[in-house]
Every structure is written in structure tokens, then in C-alpha cells.
Structure 1
Amino acid sequence: MELKQRLSFFVAITLCTCLANLAQAVAQELTLGISNSKLKPYRWVEKGIVKGANPDVVKEAAKRINIHIKILTMPWKRVLLLIKNGNLHGSIGGYKNTERLSFGIYTEVPLHYSYFSIFILNNTSFRFTTIKDLYGKRIGRLSGNHFSTEFDQAVVQGNIYLSEANKRHQLLTMLYTHRLDAVIDVNSPMKIALKEQNIDTIIDLPIPVSKPKASYLWFSKPAQIPPDIIKRFDQVLKKMLQDGTIEQITSRHGFEYNL
């Protein structure tokens, strides 16, 4: 009888250990979403491979803390929905706001900062310090881009003439043909696009239209990720910032991390 009790105890301990190890193994694998919209140098998909500064930073962080990650590309709205209901562990990239904080946990170190700039033909005289300097101007931007409530109000009031396009090259064509006085776009993606097209006749003004905004690696609260994993990501991202790894990755993709 005593032998049976010992065997039962041994089996129970072994089973608990196996279950604990299984849980730990599951906990070491995360499925992260990323928007499938192309936004070089931050993210894009090339021949089925996710590329860009954001995924490269996260991949390096995961490698350092021995966490296996699976990256799924999908429309941004779906990323948000799956994070909100806990069917996705997290997202590579995303701004922080009140709504998302209700169902998301953000790492402390941003993956990158972005801001909007004014782009003009380099032989153009154009002064900008405040939104009022844009009054009477014909400004172009990509559909869906919003960077200033004051700017939007000026458009509604008829003080700024706004033209929107779905593609960046459409805005550049309108600028070249003098149908626009300027284009307002996210600084780094526009500069990358100009470089890839060997365009050196369009420049950005030194004063940005918006303040830098941080994009983060963040996680789903409903997914109930072990707090230790999120803490380890926080720690390794801080280390990567301190040792210059993040700056090296962003520089490799053609932009500076520190503004």
C-alpha cells in the first residue's frame, strides 16, 4: 500500500512538472500582429518576408530573451480587434492612446518616433513656423493622415486648400506640375521614397508640422501574457537602447532613432 502511495505521489509530481514545463513552453511563444500596409522604413512585406526597422528591433529583442515570435500581417483594424479580444498576443507598432490602454500593455521604449514635415520643390520660397503660414496655400497629403486639429479646422474654414491622394507618387506629380505648393507627409517614409526614386529636387523644411510621436511594441491584456515576459521585453529594449542596437537598426534602414 505504501509503495502504491509513493508511486501515485511520484506520478502526480511528474505530471505537474510536465504540465508546468508545457505551460512555460507555450508562454515562450508569442504571436504578434503587424499592419500589412507598406510604410518604409518602419515596416513592409517583400516576397512574403516581413521587413523594416520595427520588426527587426523586436526580432532582436526576442532573440536576446529566448522568446519565439510568430509575425502575422493583416489590416490594422484587424490587429486592433484581435488584441482587444485576446486572440493576438500583441502588435509590432502602434501609438499609445486612452482607448488602447484599456486593453493593451505598452513597453516603455518606443520602436521609433515619427513626425510630419512639409516638402517643397527646392527652388521654392516657402516660410513655415505656424499653421497660419499655410493659409492660402495648396497643400497635399495622403488620405487618412491627420497631424493637426488646427490644420483640419483651417481646411474646413477654407483657409487652406487641401488635396488628398491614395498614393505618394500622385502627390509628388501634383507638386512637380505646380498644382500643389507643398506636400505634408511623415518625414522618414517620404525621404525614403524620394531616395528610392532618385529625386533630389524635393526637400523638407526644417520645422516639422507635428511633434514626434512614439510607436511601440505592445501586448494584449485579455491574452493574459505572463507579466515576466513583458518585463523581460522591457528590460531588453532598454538594454538595446543603451548599447546603441536600436540606433544601429534604424540607421541601417535610413533614419535616426533619436530626434
Structure 2
Amino acid sequence: MPVILKLLTAALFTLLSLAAYGEKLRIVTEPWAPYVYDEQGTMQGLDYEATVIVFQRLGVEVQWQFLPWKRCLAMLEQGHADGVLDIFHNHEREALLLYPSEPLSEVEFVLFYANDRRHPVQHLKDLQGLSVGTSPGYLYGTPFSESSLFTREPAPSHEANFGKLLLGRIDLVITDRRVGQHVIKTMALEDKVSQAPLVVSRQQQYLAVRRGAGMDLLVQRFAAELKRFKQEPAYAKLSAKYGGIPAITASERTVEQQESGAP
């Protein structure tokens, strides 16, 4: 039997099995506005809505669940979830997960500081002796994660990190630029918090699924349909709704770790 026919048969068997037992593809994620979040009981966000549209076109039903990020990863490892939304491509996770060739979006990790305790960081070395609020399970790039110049202080949520920042319990917060701007706006901190110049790292984020029968072809179909959707006016409208986030394709940028203005 040709390889492609085997893949098609496996994928069809997987989807038919889910339908026969009334099951849905179980996807977990952490609120990560404006990419995916809950607004008064309604899930929304650029990556969430794009994923919903793609799966609708593929005829795949999805069951969504919001959890802390470390819990999302545990659910995948334990087999209690089939996929995860907005995860970075990490080679250590390839034994467990399949990634589409097409990313959903790109994040840019930057630092935020309180205006009454200014730390306009331009290089990692400027963090010496400081404390930075982080989120458990997030990948910020090796230079940041392995540096001994500063301390990393995890918090259960982005809001908690910014709360600690205002209380002076940490010196800076690291998060995606758009996520930070959204939290600042939501918490009405526009006059109290500023962004430092340093770009710690850039990462593409994906919808990834656990390895299993038919999942490889499902990932291929998802990537193809997502790429097609990104070329449509509907995606441009969706992007504009969430701050004009541009479409990112795999060929436009590879995952990189860098410092802005680094010598």
C-alpha cells in the first residue's frame, strides 16, 4: 500500500473513531491575550479564532480547556489532552508532539519596569543583580534562562507578575510585547509601567498535537489550511481586530534568540 494511502487511512480511522464515540479533539492552552483568552465567558483571540476556523474547515470538532501552562504540559505528557495551542517549537518536545510546518503567530519577549523604579535595560548584562518575574514553563531562550547575572521569580499569572512589579517585589517582568501591552491596558497601568528596549528573544508559536495514529496527516492538513486562510481577507480582518498582528509564515522567519543592540 502506498505511503500516502496508509496516512490517509490512518487519519480517516482516527477521525471516524472520534466521531463514533462522540469524542472531540482535546486541546489545552493558557490564557495568553491577545492570542487566546476568555472575555466574559467567551473564548477569543487571534490564534484561537484562526484555529477554530481551520478545524471547522477540516471537519474536526474540538474541546477546549484553559489551564496554567505547566498543567497544560502535564496533561499532554499524561495523555489527558490531544493538543496544545500556542506552544513554542522545542526539539526536546518532538518525541511527544507533532508541529505543523505553519506557525500561528510570533511572539517577541521584552521586559517591563515600574516607572518609579526605572530599569531601561538594553542588554542582558544590564540585568545584573536584578529580579525578573517569569511564567512557569515558558521558554525565553537559552541566554536568558541560563544566565546567572539575575534571579528569575515565577508567578501564577501575568497579572500577578505585574502586581509584584508595582509592589516592588521584583524589578522587571518578562512577557510577550503584545501580551504585556494588553495586561497593562486591562490593569490601567499605562502611566505606571514602561517597556525596556531589550528584545530578549523571538519565538514562533504553534498548535501542536500528541503523536498518534493519523495525527501526522492531521498536522499536515492543518498547516496547509492555516497557510491558505492567512492569504484571505478574513484573516487580515481578524488580525486587525487584535492589533494588526501580521501573518507569520515558516519561510519568513526561523526561530531566533537575540539581544537588541548586542555588540
Shift of 1:69: 1.6
Q: Write the deviation string for residues 196-236 of structure 1: whole angstroms up to 9, x where unpaired.
A: 122212121233112x1112123333132473x44332222
Q: Which structure is larger by alpha-carbon Rg, 1 or 2?
A: 1
Q: Measured at CA, do residues 178 and 88 of structure 1 come closer, stay the same or move farther in structure 2, by a change above 3 Å?
A: closer
Alignment-mate amino acid for residue 72 of structure 1: W
1:165-176 to structure 2, matched below 5 A, reads 165-176=155-166
Q: Measured at CA, do residues 28 and 108 of structure 1 come closer, stay the same or move farther in structure 2, by a change above 3 Å?
A: farther
1:204 correspondence with 2:215: no
Structure 1, unpaired ranges of 5+: 1-21
Structure 2, unpaired ranges of 5+: 1-11, 249-263
Alignment-mate amino acid for residue 38 of structure 1: P
Q: Measured at CA, do residues 236 and 165 of structure 1 come closer, stay the same or move farther in structure 2, by a change above 3 Å?
A: closer
1:171-250 to structure 2, matched below 5 A, reads 171-201=161-191, 202-210=193-201, 212-225=202-215, 227=217, 229-243=218-232, 245-250=234-239
Q: Measured at CA, do residues 121 and 244 of structure 1 come closer, stay the same or move farther in structure 2, by a change above 3 Å?
A: farther
Contact 1:27 1:225 in 2 (8 A): no
Give me the whole-angstrom Cα distance separating, in 1, the residues matched to 2:14 and 2:135.
45
Q: Measured at CA, do residues 231 and 149 of structure 1 come closer, stay the same or move farther in structure 2, by a change above 3 Å?
A: closer
Matched with 2:241 is: 252
Matched with 2:44 is: 51
RMSD across aligned positions (CA): 3.4
Shift of 1:100: 3.0
Matched with 1:18 is: none
Give me the whole-angstrom Cα distance separating, in 1, the residues matched to 2:33 and 2:93.
24
**Identical columns (%):** 20
Alignment-mate amino acid for residue 197 of structure 2: P
- What secondary structure does 1:116 align onto? strand
Count of aligned positions: 228
Shift of 1:78: 4.4
Q: Write the deviation string for residues 112-140 of structure 1: whole angstroms up to 9, x where unpaired.
A: 21232111234665443321111133433
Give me the whole-angstrom Cα distance separating, in 1, the residues matched to 2:25 and 2:117.
48
Matched with 1:8 is: none
1:128 correspondence with 2:121: yes
Alignment-mate amino acid for residue 110 of structure 1: P
- What secondary structure does 2:106 align onto? strand
Shift of 1:57: 0.6
Alignment-mate amino acid for residue 198 of structure 2: I
TM-score by length of 1: 0.70
Shift of 1:76: 0.7
Shift of 1:245: 4.1
Contact 2:36 2:47 in 1 (8 A): yes
Alignment-mate amino acid for residue 97 of structure 1: N
Contact 1:134 1:160 in 2 (8 A): yes
- What secondary structure does 1:129 align onto? coil
Matched with 2:86 is: 93
Q: Measured at CA, do residues 209 and 48 of structure 1 come closer, stay the same or move farther in structure 2, by a change above 3 Å?
A: same
- What secondary structure does 1:80 align onto? helix
Give me the whole-angstrom Cα distance separating, in 2, the residues matched to 1:142 and 1:103.
22
Q: Measured at CA, do residues 94 and 163 of structure 1 come closer, stay the same or move farther in structure 2, by a change above 3 Å?
A: closer
Give me the whole-angstrom Cα distance separating, in 2, the residues matched to 1:218 and 1:163.
28
TM-score by length of 2: 0.69
Shift of 1:238: 1.1
Matched with 1:4 is: none
Contact 2:106 2:203 in 1 (8 A): yes
Contact 1:34 1:93 in 2 (8 A): no
Contact 1:192 1:254 in 2 (8 A): no
Alignment-mate amino acid for residue 188 of structure 1: R
Matched with 1:34 is: 28
Contact 2:120 2:197 in 1 (8 A): no
Shift of 1:141: 3.0
Alignment-mate amino acid for residue 31 of structure 1: L
Give me the whole-angstrom Cα distance separating, in 2, the residues matched to 1:206 and 1:136.
18
Q: 1:64 aligns with which of 27, 33, 57?
A: 57
Contact 1:246 1:257 in 2 (8 A): no
